């Protein structure tokens, strides 16, 4: 699939809509421009390592046990919502519940 774009006087380029949709790009996403041997140009979306997500969610008040995690995974695989203990009423428990459902 070949597409063209025009460079503005400020050096900006609008990525064609079909490419933005194919790469799932949204406003604010970053792109890497890679010069290849032979003069080619490759453009790739910048992905963040999983470690960049650290600190995005609040720290849980109480840790979830391995047994609770296993129970949630088993329930999720069976299509039933996982049953967490008393943590499910706290915001941390709700966060854990959501993460376990994903």
The predicted pLDDT at position 90 comes to 47
Residues of the domain holding 43 = 1-47
pTM of the complete model: 0.45
Angle at 83 between CA 88 and CA 58, to 5 degrees: 30
Number of domains in the chain: 2
pLDDT at 85: 53
pLDDT along the chain (102 residues), means of 10: 90 92 88 92 84 78 83 79 50 54 54
CATH number at residue 22: 2.10.260.10
Among residues 10, 28, 47, the one where a domain terminates is: 47
């Amino acid at each position: 699939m070949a597409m063209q774009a025009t460079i503005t006087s400020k050096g900006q380029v609008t990525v064609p809509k079909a490419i933005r949709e194919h790469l799932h790009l949204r406003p604010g996403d970053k792109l890497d421009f890679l010069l290849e041997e032979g003069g080619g140009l490759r453009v790739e979306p910048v992905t963040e390592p999983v470690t960049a997500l650290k600190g995005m969610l609040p720290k849980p008040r109480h840790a979830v046990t391995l047994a609770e995690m296993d129970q949630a995974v088993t329930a999720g695989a069976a299509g039933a919502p996982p049953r967490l203990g008393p943590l499910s009423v706290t915001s941390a428990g709700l966060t854990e519940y959501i993460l376990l459902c994903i």
